[in-house]
Structures are given as structure tokens and as C-alpha cells.
């Protein structure tokens, strides 16, 4: 795959992933933690706010990976 095309696809995937992830995390947190304490809600949103980094890092790694194969 051409590197510039790979970066374009990766950028689109990254933007879509972050938007969908953020909306999903907010809805889950809002629907399930309404009656929870402030500490529980803070902990959930702190973890959910950092958890997206792992799949985003995988997408960025894939984007930056060289298209050349070893022979």
C-alpha cells in the first residue's frame, strides 16, 4: 500500500474511532453512573479518557509502518 494512502486511511480511521469512542464512553457513563458517587464517576471518566490511547496508538503505528517488505 502506498504510504500516503495508508496515512490518509489511518487518519480517517483515527478521527472516526475517536469520535465514536468518545460518544460511546459518554453515553455509557451517563446511563450507568447517574446514581454513583462523584469519585466513581471521576474514576470511570479518567480511565475511559485515557483508554482510547491504546487503539489510537495501534492505528498510528500501522500508518507509520513502512510499506516495504523484507526479502
Model confidence at 3: pLDDT above 80: no
Q: Which residues contact 27 (CB under 8 A, 6 or more apart)?
A: none
Q: Which residues contact 2 (CB under 8 A, 6 or more apart)?
A: 67
Q: Give the span between the Cα atoms of 51 and 46, in whole angstroms.
A: 9
Q: What is the pLDDT of residue 13?
A: 95
Enter the pTM of the model.
Answer: 0.80
Is the Cβ–Cβ distance between 29 and 48 less than 8 Å?
yes
Encode pLDDT of 16-58 as tens digits: 999 999 999 999 999 999 999 999 999 999 999 999 999 999 9
Is the Cβ–Cβ distance between 52 and 15 less than 8 Å?
no
Q: Give the span between the Cα atoms of 51 and 45, in whole angstroms.
A: 10
Amino acid at each position: 500500500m502506498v504510504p500516503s494512502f495508508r496515512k490518509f486511511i489511518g487518519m480517517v480511521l483515527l478521527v472516526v474511532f475517536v469520535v465514536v469512542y468518545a460518544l460511546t464512553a459518554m453515553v455509557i457513563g451517563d446511563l450507568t453512573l447517574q446514581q454513583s458517587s462523584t469519585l466513581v464517576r471521576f474514576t470511570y471518566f479518567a480511565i475511559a479518557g485515557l483508554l482510547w490511547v491504546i487503539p489510537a496508538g495501534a492505528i498510528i503505528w500501522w500508518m507509520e509502518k513502512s510499506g516495504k517488505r523484507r526479502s
